[in-house]
Each structure stands twice: as C-alpha cells, then as structure tokens.
Amino acid sequence: MIKKLFFTLIVLCFSFNSFSQERGIKKLLNRIRYSDYNYRGDKPMFLQNADLKDFNFGYYFGAYQLNYKLNYNELLGSKSSSGTNPAAYDVKEIIFEPQTGFGVGFITELRLANFIDLRFEPGYLYGRTNIDFNSIVVSSLYQGQDVTLQLKQSMLYLPLLIKLSSARFENFRPFVVAGISKSVRLGAKNDEVRQGIIDLRSNINQLEIGIGIDLYLPYFKFTPAIRAIYGRENELLIDDSDGLHWSQRIVEEGVTRRGLKNRGVFFVLTFE
C-alpha cells in the first residue's frame, strides 16, 4: 500500500513538472508572438510591427544651415570681346557664409505600400547667414562703405515627402527621401530690410532630397538623416526706389530663374 502511494506521488510530481514546463514554454511563445519584438538567433528584433501600421507619428529636431546661391546678371558678369568694358571687370562676388541654426517639428506618416510612405513634417526653422558685399555699392545710402550683415530668419517649414525604404536588416533599415516643401518667413521686417539693404520674399518653394537609416530600439524608432534643400525661384525683391541699389544691377527684373536662391542642409534626428 505504501509502495503504491509512493509511486503515485512520484508520477504526480513528474506530471505537474511537465505541465508547468509546458505552460511556461507556451507562455514564452505567446509573449514572443504577440509582443512587438521577436528573436532571430541571438539578436533581438525590435518593433517588428511598427512598419505595418497605417499611420505613424513622431517628432524631430536637428541642425540647419542656410546658404544662398546668387546668379549674376549676364551684362555684369560677362567680359567684352575687345576688353574695353572696364565695368565688366569691376564686378565682385557677394560672399555668403552659412551659420548653424536649428529646426524642430512633428511627423505624420501614411503607409502607402510595403516600402513606400508619405510624410508630412510641419516644423520651425531658424537660420543665420553672414553676407559680405565685398566692397560692392549696396545703395546710394552706403556709397564708399563696405557693408556686412548677419541675416537671421525664422520660418514655418512645411515639407511633403515620399520615403522609399529598403528591406529591413535586423534592426536597421536605410532609406531615401524626396519631395517638395514650402518655407514661410515669420515676424516683422528685420533691420536689413528697414535700412534698404536686402528684402526677401515671404514664401519660398523648395525641392528636397535626402538619405537616412531607421534604427529599431526596444521602445521607439530612432532615425538620423541628412537632407539637402534647393530653392526653386528667385527670393530677392528688387528695390526700384534707388537706381544704385545692388538688386537692380545684379538681377534682371521679371527673370525668376536668376537671382537669389537658397541652399540648405538639414541634419535631422527623428523619434517615432
């Protein structure tokens, strides 16, 4: 009787142990299956379902450099064939030196396909550019003066971008991004405008292209990226009130393909 009871206890212990192990394995498998990460070999695969959502949201901040490209008037920039036009040799280039600013904003992403997303990233940009007129006569008020200034700009930034991603490799996924954007200058006219030195358009249309890499972390997706921003049209407003103003002598009126166009570089850190 005692032997039978002892044998029954041993069987029950082994059964309970096997049942506990089976429940533990099932529990672990369910956690792996229904959680937002998985394992491949010895490396964790984080946020596997993040790219399957129809909408993603996040925010970004980064460093921004605003530069300019100035296309000069052909008459001022050309040399005469006979070499008897001294004014053609007096033309000097205006020097633009970009300074580091910053940008912040929010992200709304719509999934279009497995590797294609549409992104709207409204934000705020602050940029600074040092301008040296290099002894060029700025206007009748500044004859004989060497004018230098720091142009500070605050802008509402409205980019609409297409993101093309590659296949995911473990916790990395490189991508390219391209699209259009509009920048709207904020605030009142600055001192340079009031002093009659330079005046720029309020709205700017731009093209953008960039590259980056998505890094999948346990609780969020971190993305470093860099984008180039190209202005599509002339930003400089011509000052008709002063015949000696540099904008009249350098830019032809009515020619939107010439003039002053922005060239920006934006290094972005994104959190989604």
Residue 42 lies in a domain: no
**156 & 246 share domain:** yes
**13 & 89 share domain:** no
Residue 207 lies in a domain: yes
Q: Show pLDDT as tens, one digit a residue, over the chain (272 residues).
A: 555 555 555 555 555 455 444 455 554 444 444 344 444 456 788 888 888 889 999 999 999 998 988 877 655 544 444 444 444 434 567 888 888 999 999 999 999 998 999 999 999 999 888 888 877 777 766 666 677 788 888 999 999 999 999 989 889 999 999 999 999 988 755 655 656 778 788 888 999 999 999 999 988 999 999 999 999 888 887 766 666 677 777 765 555 556 788 899 999 999 99
Residue 113 lies in a domain: yes
**30 & 135 share domain:** no
Residue 215 lies in a domain: yes
**67 & 188 share domain:** yes
**115 & 160 share domain:** yes
**15 & 104 share domain:** no
Residue 41 lies in a domain: no
Domain, as residue range, for 260: 52-271
**Per-residue pLDDT tens over the stretch 231-248:** 988 888 776 666 667 777
pTM over 0.75, yes/no: no
**Per-residue pLDDT tens over the stretch 16-58:** 455 444 455 554 444 444 344 444 456 788 888 888 889 999 9
**30 & 83 share domain:** no
**225 & 119 share domain:** yes
**132 & 22 share domain:** no
Residue 46 lies in a domain: no
* HEC assignment per residue over the chain: CHHHHHHHHHHHHHHHHHHHHHHHHHHHHHHHHHCCEEEECCEEEECCCHHHCCEEEEEEEEEEEEEEEEECCHHHHCCCCCCCCHHHHCCCCCEEEEEEEEEEEEEEEEECCCCEEEEECCEEEEEEEEEECCCCCCCHHHCCCCCEEEEEEEEEEEEEEEEEECCCECCEEEEEEEEEEEEEECCCCCHHHHCCCCCECCEEEEEEEEEEEEEECCCCEEEEEEEEEEECCCCECCCCCCCCCHHHHHCCCCCCCCEEEEEEEEEEEEEC
**28 & 72 share domain:** no
Residue 70 lies in a domain: yes
CATH of the domain at 73: 2.40.160.20
**184 & 230 share domain:** yes
Residue 123 lies in a domain: yes
Q: How many domains does the chain have?
A: 2
**28 & 160 share domain:** no
